[in-house]
Amino acid sequence: MADIAHREKVRALDLDLRRRAAAVIPGGMYGHMTVGRLPDEYPQFYDRSEGAHVWDVDGNEYVDFMCSFGPMILGYRHTRVEAAAASQAARGDTQPGPAPCMVELAELLVERVAHADWALFAKNGSDATTTSLMVARAETGRNKVLAAAGAYHGAAPWATLRMDGVAPEERANLHYYEYNDAASVERAIDEAGADNVAAIITSPFKHDAGFDQEDVDPAFARRLRELCDELDAALVMDEVRAGFRLNHGGSWERLGVEPDLSAWSKAIANGYPLAAVLGRGRYAEAATRIFVTGSFWFQAVPMAAAVATIHALRDEDAVATMERVGNRLRDEFDRLAEDIGVEIRQTGPVRCRISASRTTTST
């Protein structure tokens, strides 16, 4: 009882907002925000944020290890990013066409990501993964796509995790393989028919939500590249979650494997809404032909923020910093767990390295 009374006190505004949301938002927070599935103790509504810290509506302060589900790679209200965003906002944001910073951003991405000869922009990761597959289909004239079973590539009907409201036909052109299992990719190719495969979509490492994560086997990465070359199909890398975290550039560049197309979002603009598709020259003509757009896709402020974010990521040596503090965090979690006698498992990369002794699933 004391616990419930305490929770009601420290969560009074949050609980009230949840009740009001339930009346006017389908399912309340449980419906269209998966955050609603988190335990009751987890706050749902936030008031402000600064650096690595967030404050919920009741004034409780937290360290946001989730980085706001990924986008806040440099921390909240990063000075350089906010200055660039404010400077662009003072001139204009949504206008009849893009601002010059769109070209600057495309040039910067082409410079930093090895396989990229061009960039086009959207809002969400789902836009970017979906657009990548449209480009692959337009270029190859084929329909089938191979994806890893259990992988998340967004909330578009072809990718969403639940089938409610989705026509089975939306999945008719998808065939599934197991991540890190080349034989299963070959089986999926046979199933799809080698002449029908437009693309194989994959991710920098196996990061299915709610499961142990797994680094990519370099031999698997190389085999995917070979298979795409044999099929003359596009290798599409979903960089939405991992992009600019494992490497300042494409995540598989360190393995010597480059995709044909890649989908980016989350961290590229440090919290401002932006996504990008990057691609090789061969796919530029197809990217010109497909029809993709949105009323807000040419917003200037997120693009100005992205230019500043990408420069800051390199200037602050962000990948090395994430590796250093990530390892420290893991060591401390291990130490704490040992101190209190709780067995934990930590999986997934601190710069794509999995320690065998670490077995708490992190996302």
Ligand X SMILES: Cc1ncc(COP(=O)(O)O)c(C=O)c1O
CB 269 within 8 A of CB 243: no
Nearest CB to ligand X, comparing residues 88 and 126: 126
CB 177 within 8 A of CB 149: yes
Which residue, 159 or 313, is less far from ligand X as judged by CB? 159
The pairs formed by 289-296 with CB atoms below 8 angstroms and a separation of 24 or more are: 289/138, 290/131, 290/134, 290/135, 290/138, 292/120, 292/122, 292/127, 292/131, 292/134, 294/122, 294/123, 294/127, 295/94, 296/94, 296/123
Distance in Å, CB of 242 to ligand X, minimum: 7
Nearer to ligand X, 126 or 347 (CB): 126
Q: Least distance in Å: CB of 238 to ligand X?
A: 5
The minimum distance between CB 265 and ligand X, in angstroms, equals: 5
Name residues whose C-beta falls within 8 Å of residue 16's C-beta, 6 or more positions apart in sequence.
none
Cβ distance to ligand X smaller for residue 152 or 244: 152
Cβ 139 to ligand X shortest distance, Å:
21
Q: Distance (Å, rounded) from C-alpha 296 to C-alpha 241? A: 22
Identify the three-state secondary structure at position 333: helix
**Smallest Cα–Cα separation from 128: which of 144, 116, 111?**
116
Name the site residues for ligand X (rule: CB under 6 A).
124-126, 129, 152-155, 203, 238, 240-241, 265
Rank residues 43 and 154 by Cβ distance to ligand X and give the closer one.
154
CA nearest 286: which of 236, 247, 358?
Answer: 236
**101, amino acid identity:** C
Whole-number minimum distance, CB 150 to ligand X, in Å? 12
Q: Which is nearer to ligand X, 15 or 131 (CB)?
A: 131
| 14 versus 250: smaller Cβ distance to ligand X | 250
Specify the 3-state DSSP secondary structure of 200.
strand
Q: How far is the CB of 152 from ligand X (least distance, A)?
A: 5
**CA angle 151–252–358, rounded 5-degree value:** 65
> Minimum distance between the CB of residue 123 and ligand X, rounded to whole angstroms?
8
* Core vs surface per residue 4-18: b (16+ CB within 10 A) or e: eeeeeeebeebbebb
Tokens of 251: 């995540």
In the complex, the smallest distance separating the C-beta of residue 209 from ligand X, rounded to whole angstroms, is: 8
- The nearer residue to ligand X, 58 or 170, going by C-beta atoms, is 170
Give Cα separations from 40 to 3, 55, 265 (angstroms). Answer: 12, 17, 29
Distance in Å, CB of 204 to ligand X, minimum: 9
Residue 314: how many CB atoms within 10 A of its CB?
Answer: 14
Residue at shortest CB range from ligand X: 125
Task: Give the residue with the Cβ less far from ligand X, 78 or 241.
Answer: 241
Packing angle of the helix pair 79-91, 300-315 (nearest 10 deg): 160
